[in-house]
Chain A
Amino acid sequence: MLAAILVMAGIAVAIGLALGWSAIRFKVEGNPLAEKIDAILPQTQCGQCGFLGCRPYAEAIARGEADINLCPPGGEEGMKKLADLLGVDPKPLDETHGVPKPKSVAFIDEQTCIGCTLCIQACPVDAISGAAKQMHTIIAAECTGCELCLPPCPVDCITMVPIAEDLPHWKWKHPVVMLRQVSGDSGA
């Protein structure tokens, strides 16, 4: 009887030690859930969710402090992915935080630009090149379309230009034949 108790106690202590040791030895740095959420977020860094960028929003979601439907650039799809990851029910996007827009890049009207550098300071991804009293320009390939440069511009010389579809960016559309047929059949 006593031997059995001692053996069980011994095993418990051994396992406890092993667990305790591995908790220190294999400690995961940072919050892996926030990492995963951040990977889904579109990284526009636009702040429409009310946080200072994608990472803080991801951390807030991970802590359970923010809802999953606050990111308009991620759209319906991004929200569904977050719902999938977190095992919660998808919910419609919160329109108070903005609505999804077609992908755009900022464009500076170089004739009007006065070189104030305010937009450069606002850009979250350093996608504007220029210097004080020099013309500024957008590095289109790096612009996330966050629109954060629009409000600070004193001369309103920045516009958002939707990315036009050209040959390299063209993609196959979902074949619609089936969909039409099925709806026609069910309607008949």
Chain B
Amino acid sequence: MSRELFKFKGGVHPPEHKAESSARPVRVAPLPKKLVIPLRQHIGSPAKPLVSVGDRVLKGQMIGEADGTISAAVHASSSGIVTAVDLQPVPHISGLPDLCISIETDGRDEWVEHGPLDYRAMAPTDLRMRLRDLGLAGLGGAVFPSAVKLDPGATQHCPILIINGGECEPWITCDDVLMRTRADEILQGVAIMRHLLGSTEILVGIEDNKPEAIAAMRAAAARMDFAAEIMVVPARYPGGGAKQMIQVLTGREVPSGKLSTDIGIQVFNVGTAYALARAVHHGEPLISRLVTVTGHVLRPQNFEVLIGTPMHALITLAGDRDGTTGVLMGGPMMGMPMPNLDVPVVKATNCILVQSAELFPPLPKALPCIRCTRCADACPAELQPQELFRFAKAGDFGRAQEYHLFDCIECGCCSYVCPSHIPLVDFYRYAKSEIWTREKDKRAADLARERHEFRQFRQEREKKEKAEKLAAKAQAKRAELAAAPDAGAAAPSEADAKKALIAAALARAQAKKAETAPQNTDHLSPGTQREIEEIEARRAKIRELARQPLEPDEKP
């Protein structure tokens, strides 16, 4: 059966440069002396560290647990001693450090106890929790925790499961090589996804520039007990983007602001399917992945790399050359320049692309936008990049949002075709992060307003309560005095009642004073005793004076 394929609008076809790295076999990168494992490797909340400095950890041991729903655990990639839990440089464009666990490896590579899971017998919720604890996250680039994506939920159904082997970005070949060499395990992973999602239709999309991968996957699919259709899609960037892949394979578009699951489709990368099979059939957490090291190196190739291995070690393995101008994590279209090469390989690292002036000549000077709309023709999300650029540059973020800025997948097609060489995507990223910051500030302001208003309400309430309490107390006292036989008859008026209250309070205070005898009145010398007596006499006199009614001449 051959299905009809559809097309997505726009896209570009940059030089592929895939043959450089896909020709060589996969090499297992040697165990480094030190592993640095960031706790924030996935989208969502970072993992919470479980180990402290000095602990011995085993390979595959959980060292950071998932924190919250959208999170995933991280694991020690090899056995060794934890040397630090602190801020270390991570592969992020900002160059800012993040919390990492550093492990000095002992070379024994000793595994923690692990074994296969019987996924068919397990409750789906338990299985998802296990996958979260095994650190599974999407290896296609977004690193979204897989356990969340594998939850069809109460209302969502995903009859269509798409396995994305597009790998449209130039230079990168890790998915290609994975499909060539480990097709069976990828499809075993797909079987588990199918089990969890209840999908009835499985489509595997592979771009037509990977004939060997297509053949290997077809052969493997024939051996499976379920139908998985291997579909060959024309190679055009960004055909490996999830939304574009859905459109090409099914002809359906994910509506703006919605998820693919809203139209009953879930998409996973081939690498994620492979990692899932390793996790379930071997109990292995996600501690290694295939990484393409290519570009300006002597031997471009794919490596099986432990998470936490420093990038410079891989570049040395591939043979570093003079004239390196920079290193990208990812491909030339969407890759991020690395601030330094001590940063570790993380779950998101699919490619380390070493740049040179020859391979990646510096972009000519950016010129003003001439509104030629070539970017609009190239945009696969069918946006108006020239307008988005205008608004983002001017800081008119509201208008940018009206023009669907958040549908931009940052694929870089617009910048690629721009005759003025404007770094358009940088402007969109700037606008997006500016909007997010403002929304966060708005939420903080709303919280502050709410708390301030509540405080005012509380103060008002406390004031009222205090007044009421005092009034009630006075009322009770008055009633008590009125009920007393002697005072009741003598003090009928309001002023007398008040006087009686004061008198009662005075009597109480005096009684209390009399109760607490002073501590320093024993064993006094006669002199001191005399002094005290004099003072007491004076006090008595004052009391006597106070008791007498006010003299008329004291009045003004």
Contacts and interface: CB of A to CB of B under 8 A. Distances in A.
Interface of A: 38, 41-45, 53-55, 124-127, 142, 144, 165-167, 170-175, 177-178, 181-182
B422 A178 contact: yes
B451 A125 contact: yes
A16 to B, nearest CB: 39
Nearest to B459: A121
B313 to A, nearest CB: 23
A145 to B, nearest CB: 10
B432 A172 contact: yes
Contact of B451 (A127, A165, A181, A182): A127
B90 A172 contact: no
17 contacts: A43-B445, A45-B448, A53-B452, A125-B452, A126-B451, A126-B455, A142-B448, A144-B448, A166-B98, A167-B90, A167-B98, A170-B94, A171-B436, A171-B437, A173-B430, A175-B427, A178-B366
A106 B422 CA distance: 42
B433 A172 contact: yes
Contacts of A45: 448, 452
Interface string B224-265: 000000000000000000000000000000000000000000
B94 A167 contact: yes
Nearest to A177: B366
B455 A165 contact: no
Nearest to B422: A178
Q: Nearest 10 A-B pairs (CB), nearest first?
A: A171-B433, A43-B445, A43-B448, A175-B426, A125-B451, A172-B430, A172-B433, A172-B429, A43-B449, A170-B94
B454 interface: yes
B440 to A, nearest CB: 9
Contact of B455 (A125, A166, A171, A182): A125
Given A142-B447, A181-B366, A167 B452 contact: no
Secondary structure of the A contact surface, majority rule: loop
B357 interface: no
A42 B441 CA distance: 8
Contacts of A178: 366, 368, 393, 422
Contacts of B423: 175, 177
Interface string B258-280: 00000000000000000000000
B281 interface: no
B368 A182 contact: yes
Contacts of B92: 167, 170
B342 to A, nearest CB: 16
A43 B96 contact: no
A45 B197 CA distance: 50
Instruction: Find the residue from A125, A126, A172 having the highest chain B CB count within 10 A.
Output: A172
A175 B452 CA distance: 38
Interface of B: 40, 90, 92, 94, 96-98, 365-368, 393, 422-423, 426-427, 429-430, 432-434, 436-437, 441, 444-449, 451-455
Interface of B is mostly: helix
Nearest to A52: B456
A51 B96 CA distance: 40
A174 B444 CA distance: 23
B40 A181 contact: no
Given A125-B452, A170-B94, A170-B96, 10 more contacts: A41-B445, A43-B448, A55-B452, A171-B433, A171-B434, A177-B366, A177-B423, A177-B426, A178-B368, A181-B365
B427 A42 contact: no
B447 A166 contact: no
Contacts of B393: 178
Contacts of A144: 444, 448
Contacts of B365: 181
A172 B435 CA distance: 11
Contacts of A44: 448
Contact of A174 (B96, B367, B422, B430): B430
A171 B440 CA distance: 12
Nearest to B40: A167
B546 to A, nearest CB: 36
Contacts of B447: 142
A162 to B, nearest CB: 16
Q: Most A CB atoms within 10 A — which of B365, B441, B451?
A: B451
A55 B455 CA distance: 13
Given A42-B445, A125-B451, A142-B448, A165 B96 contact: yes
A174 B445 CA distance: 24
Contacts of A173: 430
Nearest to B434: A171
A43 B90 contact: no
B452 A181 contact: no
